[in-house]
Amino acid sequence: MKKTVFTGAATALVTPFDKSGINFEVLEELIEFQINGGIDCILICGTTGEASTMPDSEHKEAIKFAVDKVNGRLPVIAGTGSNHTAHAIELSKYAQQAGADAILTVTPYYNKTTQEGLYEHFKAIAGSVDIPVILYNVPTRTVLNIDPDTLSKLAGIDNIVGIKECNLGQVGETAKLCGEDFAIYSGDDFQVLPMLAFGGKGVISVVANLIPGDMHQLVARFLDGDIKGSRELQLKILDLTKALFSVVNPIALKKAMRIKGFNVGNLRLPLTELDEENTKKLKAAMKEYGMI
């Protein structure tokens, strides 16, 4: 039986930057906010954390810092994906060495590949570590989909334990082919409830940066049989989620975090600051939610 890394809501944590690099004082503050808010798991160095702009030394430092500060209080997943298999293996080996509970590895982007190439890519990464591996399928960013048949083959590898899935249209087939041991996590805050209905174990969430407790409850209520209560929370976060995804993530999220009083710093190019019109919409959604 495969190990389930977590059940519930994980936060794809933002990375606070200052002029010298990562602001570790604020990163610790964010980690404590998440734990105190009731989140179930933390993802460090994901898309929301702007990992693609980090040199390896910074990327590794962020992973080690998060693992040390969480100190076993909940699972830490390290984002270690790359479109260069050898690079992904290097980062994944480091994450295991640093004490991460699992890695998250995205489909190769830009150079792309075939379905056979995907299988060999992920097989090589999984074979380089002993900790659980969660795949990340986000075709809107990578222009590459992991087909259910390929996922079924990958699920046969012992330490490939699940997927962060953003393609709702294929989740039913994936669940059927891969079985209950293979954990499916929603990668889209708009679609947590339908993913759970297909047997999903939870969500790796952007919105949870702001509302860790509510995202935890959205999943927990569903799994406890309170479908109505879970649906109410899914609908409650709708307008806030729309505002946070008005532009490419994490542009609006970092703005929201600053509005909330977290000194997360600026975005790294090529991301730019949120425009005035969308800032007004974001503030209105945050006010409606009751957080400002």
Query: Is 282 inside a domain boundary?
Result: no
pLDDT of residue 96: 98
The answer to whether residue 224 scores a pLDDT higher than 90 is yes
Query: Is 237 inside a domain boundary?
Result: no
Query: Is 277 inside a domain boundary?
Result: no
Query: Is 107 inside a domain boundary?
Result: yes
pLDDT above 70 as % of the chain: 100
Query: Is 194 inside a domain boundary?
Result: yes
Task: Give the mean pLDDT of 38-57.
Answer: 97
Residue numbers of the domain that contains 65: 8-230
> Per residue in 199-212, pLDDT tens?
999 999 999 999 99
Domain count, the chain: 1
Q: Which helix (H) or strand (E) holds 103?
A: strand 102-106
Tell me if residue 283 is catalytic: no
Tell me if residue 136 is catalytic: yes
Residue burial 100-128, b: 16+ Cβ < 10 Å; e: rest = bbbbbbbbbeeeeeeeeebbebbbebbeb
pLDDT of residue 1: 77
> Per residue in 122-161, pLDDT tens?
999 999 999 999 999 999 999 999 999 999 999 999 999 9
The amino acid occupying position 247 is V
CATH number at residue 43: 3.20.20.70
pLDDT of residue 284: 98
DSSP-derived pairing of the beta strands 160-165 and 133-137: parallel
**Cα Rg of the chain, angstroms:** 18
Query: Is 239 inside a domain boundary?
Result: no
C-alpha–C-alpha distance, residues 56 and 41, integer Å: 23
Per-residue CA distances from 56 to 42, 133, 153, 160 (Å): 20, 20, 30, 24
SS3 assignment, position 22: strand
- Identify the CA nearest to 218 among candidates 8, 10, 38: 8
> Per residue in 162-214, pLDDT tens?
999 999 999 999 999 999 999 999 999 999 999 999 999 999 999 999 999 99
The answer to whether residue 3 scores a pLDDT higher than 90 is no
Query: Is 244 inside a domain boundary?
Result: no
Of the residues 2, 153, 164, 254, only one is catalytic, namely: 164
DSSP-derived pairing of the beta strands 21-22 and 17-18: antiparallel
Q: Which CB contacts under 8 angstroms, 24+ apart, belong to 260-264?
A: 260/210, 260/286, 260/291, 260/292, 262/16, 262/26, 262/29, 262/30, 262/33, 263/16, 263/23, 263/26, 264/14, 264/15, 264/16, 264/17, 264/23, 264/26, 264/30
Measured on CA atoms in the order 204, 41, 214, 200, is the torsion positive or negative?
Answer: positive
With bands split at pLDDT 50, 70 and 90, how would you rate the model's confidence at 19?
Answer: very high
What's the whole-model pTM score?
0.97
Per-residue CA distances from 211 to 27, 101, 256 (Å): 17, 23, 11
Average confidence score pLDDT of the chain: 97
Return the ∠ at Cα 150 (arms to 156 and 95), rounded to 5°: 65
Residue 55 CB burial class (10 angstroms; 0-12, 13-18, ≥19): exposed
The amino acid occupying position 172 is G
- Identify the CA nearest to 106 among candidates 153, 49, 25, 165: 165
Query: Is 108 inside a domain boundary?
Result: yes
The answer to whether residue 2 scores a pLDDT higher than 90 is no
Phi, psi for residue 32 in degrees, rounded to 5: -65, -35
With bands split at pLDDT 50, 70 and 90, how would you rate the model's confidence at 47?
Answer: very high
Of the residues 60, 64, 119, 136, only one is catalytic, namely: 136
Q: Which residues pair with 70 in a beta bridge?
A: none
Q: Are residues 6 and 202 in contact, defined by beta-carbon separation less than 8 angstroms?
A: yes
